Amino acid sequence: MPELPEVETIRRQLAPHVEGRRLQTVEIRDVRWPQGTTPELLSAQLTGARVERLGRLGKYLIWELDGDRHLLVHLRMTGALLLDADPEPPHTRARIALDDGHVLTYVDPRRFGTAQLLDSGRERDSYLAARLGAEPFTEQFTAAYLRAQARGRRAPLKSFILDQRRIAGVGNIYADEALHRAGLHPLRPAGSLTLAQWTTLKQTIEDALADGIDAKGASIDDFRHVDGARGSFQDRFLVHTRAGAPCPSCGATIRKLVVGGRGTYVCERCQPRPRRARETSALVASRARPAGGSGR
């Protein structure tokens, strides 16, 4: 799924081509893409609109249109925006012709992406505030904020980081990378961290995201730039997708776990398991041994 660095990469690449331009024709081919309306109605509302600015918050691309209208596009798992793709890619769900002759294509094999048109800045702000917490790199994103959000919560730390209502824009890749840099295990209860640990984790989250932006995103499966090129952050992964490989920090073997239903990569030497998780793991292992045997 495109995360903050991938969506920011798309925004930076696309903004010079769409800002100040009019959407000359809008063809929406997938009934699931528009939210709360029909493809025909959304197409009519967008046709002729002028793009004032292309913004982003969390994983949302925000098209600021004339008339104080705001189109929020979420790419979800497999969505991509391609400029002047030729030939037209399979799984094209929408096609937007700009008034300068360029054509923007929305491609989404799994059809989870969404587009929502809101009629005012107030509606936009209300919509996003109900779904997103503080975004990294902003004044609101502090260690104190994170500690307050996590207070009393026993959910795994990784699940807390992935909760968009707490932290906007961080997904599976950057959570793994940030936790490794901070030396924190993804199964640790979120409410158990000290302020000093939150200070470290806040910084490693921003460091991992900044590195992802510098590498123009990570292309493991579907993510592509607007010209179809791949990002390169996958070449810099410390732990993510590297199960069985040596940890670059200590040489121990990286393991793959499942945390909150998500594949999770960790070096358990650099990121020690919390005691309760170690005890549970030992109990599961003991129960798996043959009765009456030593387990050797």
Domain boundaries along the sequence of the chain: 4-129, 143-285
262 catalytic? Reply is: yes
- Comparing CA positions, the residue from 98, 116, 96, 97 lying closest to residue 106 is 96
- How far apart are alpha carbons 59 and 55 in whole angstroms? 11
Mean pLDDT, to the nearest integer, of 288-292?
47
Looking at this protein, which amino acid is placed at residue 206? E
Please say if 87 is a catalytic residue: no
What is the pLDDT at residue 91? 97
Q: According to the model, what pLDDT value does residue 285 have?
A: 42
End-to-end C-alpha distance for the chain, whole angstroms: 42
* Global pTM value: 0.91
Residue 277: pLDDT over 80: no
* pLDDT digits 0-9 by tens, 140-197: 999 999 999 999 999 999 999 999 999 999 999 999 999 999 999 999 999 999 999 9
Rounded mean pLDDT, 225-247: 97
| CATH 3.10.50.30 correct for 4-129 | no
Overall CATH class of domain 143-285: mainly alpha
CA pair distance 256, 159, nearest whole angstrom: 15
Confidence of residue 272 (pLDDT cuts 50, 70, 90): very high
Give the residue from 52, 84, 89 showing the smallest Cα distance to 70. 52
pLDDT category, 220, cuts 50, 70, 90? confident
Is the separation of the CB atoms in 29 and 94 below 8 Å?
yes
Q: Please give the DSSP secondary-structure letter assigned to residue 31.
A: T
8 has pLDDT over 70: yes
Residues 32-68 pLDDT 10s: 999 999 999 999 999 999 999 999 999 999 999 999 9
Catalytic residue, candidates 236, 256, 262, 269 = 262
Question: How far is the C-alpha of 54 from the C-alpha of 88, rounded, in Å?
Answer: 24
Q: Which pLDDT belongs to residue 278? A: 53
User: Which residues lie below 8 Å from residue 248, measured CB to CB, with a gap of 6+?
Assistant: 238
Does residue 3 carry a catalytic annotation? yes
Please answer whether residues 57 and 9 qualify as being in contact, where contact means their C-beta atoms are separated by less than 8 angstroms. no
pLDDT score of 289 more than 80: no
Please tell me the predicted confidence (pLDDT) of residue 171: 97
Whole-angstrom distance, CA of residue 132 vs CA of residue 121: 16
Say yes or no to pLDDT of 279 above 80.
no
The one catalytic residue among 6, 34, 59, 93: 59
Residue type, 152: G
User: What is the C-alpha separation between 4 and 59, in angstroms, rounded?
Assistant: 5
- Catalytic status, residue 246: no
Residues paired with 81 in a beta bridge: 106
Q: What is the pLDDT of residues 90-111, one digit of tens each?
A: 999 999 999 999 999 999 999 9
